[in-house]
Amino acid sequence: MNAATSGILSDVVVDTLEKLAFLFAVPLEGPAPEDTRELATVRVRFSGPLCGGMQLSLSRPAALTLAATFLIALPLASVVAGWWIRRRRRHA
């Protein structure tokens, strides 16, 4: 992969984590660490008009934060927002 493509992919991952998971990521400068025992790694393959795969490695604390955001914080926010909207409609 060339440097331009790598930079674009880094920017996409950072932007996605910030917008969807409220994690403020900074791309890693230089090569990835050699010791990956402390990283949680996910590999995804996809097919269709474009075929390929993706691998994302996060430190365990970052992986737990990401999981908590999607499994707890976002559903809870949806419940609270729904309650607030229903309440506003009743008192309008």
Digitized pLDDT (tens) for each residue of the chain, 92 residues in all? 788 888 888 888 888 878 877 777 776 677 766 676 788 888 999 899 989 988 888 888 888 888 887 777 667 777 778 888 888 888 87
Q: Of 72, 75, 53, 55, nearest to 64 (Cα)?
A: 72
Q: Which single residue is written with the structure tokens 């393959």?
A: 45
Report d(CA 47, CA 5) in Å as an integer: 20
The two tokens of residue 34 are 């050699």
For residue 45, the model assigns a pLDDT of 94
For residue 18, the model assigns a pLDDT of 82
Q: Which single residue is written with the structure tokens 């660490």?
A: 33
pTM as predicted: 0.52
